[in-house]
Structure 1
Amino acid sequence: MNNNKGLTILWDFDGTLFDTYPVYTKLFKKVLADRNIDEKDVYQNIKISFRHANNYYNLSEEQLKEFASLEEEIPPQEMMPFSGVEKVLQYANNNVIMTHKLGKDVRKILRYYGWEKYFSEIVAGDDGFPRKPNKESYEYLHEKYNIDLVIGDRELDIIPAKELNIKSCLFQNNKSNLADFYLNDYGEFWTKVVEEFN
């Protein structure tokens, strides 16, 4: 961990640290090959949440299993980090992750990019906490690390931050008015976020 005066940041994973939605959009299209569904439509539904997309497309138990099996086969190099995000990770004094993704999948991707060193803790979907927007996992991480900022790409990522009076930032999502900061890319972090904290 860096010993600078950076922030302690709680990160979401999919759509925030890594640009995974295009890959998941292709998987949904593959699983739902018998339906003529629009890729843009799939992307927008995944962006709300995976649970929402599953319900929206009414995936059967068999389709959910097929999706999980296809997901297992995705090579980590297809899960690309967003440009500029590593500089923010390096700047931060401390980073933690809260994601619905399985811990082994998160660690596999972080290991591939050599990014495990940036994170003090990962709370994943199989760690027993209720799903976001329940604040329990955030409360646990906040008590342990004193979080300064939560960064996510969906409202459900920042609702718990609001409940705990932690500053929040939405990435590539300016449709909500809940966040304190909005970033279209991580190059804006230095002027839009850092300057406000200093």
Structure 2
Amino acid sequence: MLNNIKGLTVLWDFDGTLFDTYPVYTTIFKKVLNAEHVDKNEIFRHLKVSFRHASGYYNFTEEQLKDFFLLEERIPPKEFKPFDSVETVLKYADNNVIMTHKLKKDVHKILEYYGWDKHFSEIVAGDDGFPRKPNKKSYEYLHRKHMIDLVIGDREIDIIPAKELGISTCLYQNNGSKIADFYLNNYKEFWNKVAL
């Protein structure tokens, strides 16, 4: 548990944690599926497990995967909205790092658009050569370098590596899981739930 939030080093997931990207991804996913009968809420639920899970569930072909990533690349950064009050938490922490499966250039594009690149000392992205979450190797690397105090993510795969390393965890907008130390529905709750 965290006893003092001051000077905190936080490892953040990107999609669904810092930025509300899933609505955009859901729309692209449905377009690539080209299936009117598939419910957007169902797609959203599968994407929240992981993109790999969702694309496997809907049996995406190689061509559909290419189409998805091509369409994603065309989305302007302004379409990816940051969650309300998350920047306040970023400013409060002493050090912020990101671990994401997203490509580094895409992360930088969005952070730079919002002027948020100044909030992060390091980004480990999907093209940096680490195994995908929930493998803990990227977290081990960041923890050795930065001494992580808290990991915040929106999916279990974001916090499983932290649990294995004995780091405090917070799940954002995901109360269905029972493995995190803290749960937040919005970042305004951060001070009551995490800042002990």
Whether TM-score is above 0.5 comes out as yes
Q: Point out the more displaced range, 169-178 or 32-41.
A: 32-41
Matched residues, number: 192
Over residues 52-74 of structure 1, what are the superposed CA-to-partner deviations in whole Å (9 max), with x where a residue is unaligned? 00000000111111101100100
Segments of structure 2 that go 5 or more residues without pairing to the other structure are: none
Secondary structure of the residue aligned to 1:194 is: coil
Partner in structure 1 of residue 188 of structure 2: 187
1:97 Cα deviation after fit:
0.1
Partner in structure 2 of residue 48 of structure 1: 49
1:194 Cα deviation after fit:
0.7
Secondary structure of the residue aligned to 2:47 is: helix
User: Taking structure 2 as the reference length, what is the TM-score of the superposition?
Assistant: 0.96
> Identity of aligned pairs, percent?
71
CA distance in 2, matches of 1:36, 1:68: 22
CA distance in 2, matches of 1:34, 1:150: 37
CA distance in 1, matches of 2:171, 2:80: 20
CA distance in 2, matches of 1:10, 1:34: 37
Which residues in structure 2 correspond to 1:40-189 (within 5 Å)?
40-189=41-190
1:34 Cα deviation after fit:
3.5
Over residues 113-132 of structure 1, what are the superposed CA-to-partner deviations in whole Å (9 max), with x where a residue is unaligned? 00000000000000000000
1:166 Cα deviation after fit:
0.1
CA distance in 1, matches of 2:163, 2:121: 23
CA distance in 2, matches of 1:156, 1:108: 24
CA distance in 2, matches of 1:7, 1:172: 21
One-letter amino acid matched to 1:27: I
CA distance in 2, matches of 1:13, 1:72: 16
CA distance in 2, matches of 1:97, 1:6: 17
- When the two chains are superposed, the root-mean-square deviation of aligned CA atoms in Å is 0.9
1:5 Cα deviation after fit:
2.8
CA distance in 1, matches of 2:72, 2:182: 32
Secondary structure of the residue aligned to 2:171 is: strand
